[in-house]
A = this chain, B = another copy of it.
Amino acid sequence: MAVRIDDLDRKILREVQRDAGQSLDEIARAVGSSKTPVWNRIRKMREAGVMGTQTVVLDPEALGFDACFFVLIRTSEHDAAWQQRFLEALRARDEVQEAHRLAGDIDYILKVRVPNARAYDQFYQALIAEVRIHNVTALLSMEELKFTTALPV
């Protein structure tokens, strides 16, 4: 699983994370190399799965997604069947942008993006109707201070 990444690869990753819309020429110039080697490395990293899908980050507010919640979940059920149903429920719901299984006291955290508080409540009601959950705390974001998907490679 460990892919060998050298310094030039890292520079390329930094550039494409910053702006994946750049031309190969621009990237090559930015990293101090030329088109072909950069192209070969990009292809290799794509095949290795180091570089995943290319996306565009949209402005949530401009599209009417004004509410963002972090949802802390405790459950008493830990059997495989329950986990499977919970996982499927999360994957099926487009509002759920992130879901992590946690170590410790709290079992799961979700990041949920919805148009407004009422839409969150609908999501919440639908979720607890599908799977049994012991305790839920919703943290409402007032302001997104920082957002990036870039890793500090």
Q: Name the residue of chain B whose CB is nearest to the CB of A57.
A: B52
* Distance of A94 Cα from B41 Cα, bound (Å): 24
* A145 sits at the interface (CB 8 A): yes
Flag if A58 contacts B102 (CB, 8 Å).
no
* A134 sits at the interface (CB 8 A): no
Flag if A62 contacts B146 (CB, 8 Å).
no
Contacts of A19 in B (CB 8 A): 53-55
Which of these binds chain B: A32-40, A124-132, A136-144? A136-144
> Closest approach, in angstroms, between the C-beta of A85 and any C-beta of chain B?
13
Residue among A54, A56, A140 having the largest count of chain B Cβ atoms under 10 Å: A56
Per-residue B-contact encoding for A94-111, CB less than 8 Å = 1, 0 else = 111111111110101100
* Distance of A103 Cα from B70 Cα, bound (Å): 11
Q: Which 5 A-B pairs have the closest CB atoms?
A: A94-B152, A100-B141, A99-B145, A99-B146, A21-B54
A–B complex contacts, Cβ < 8 Å, 11 sampled: A1-B62, A17-B58, A18-B53, A50-B63, A51-B58, A95-B152, A98-B148, A99-B144, A100-B143, A100-B144, A102-B140
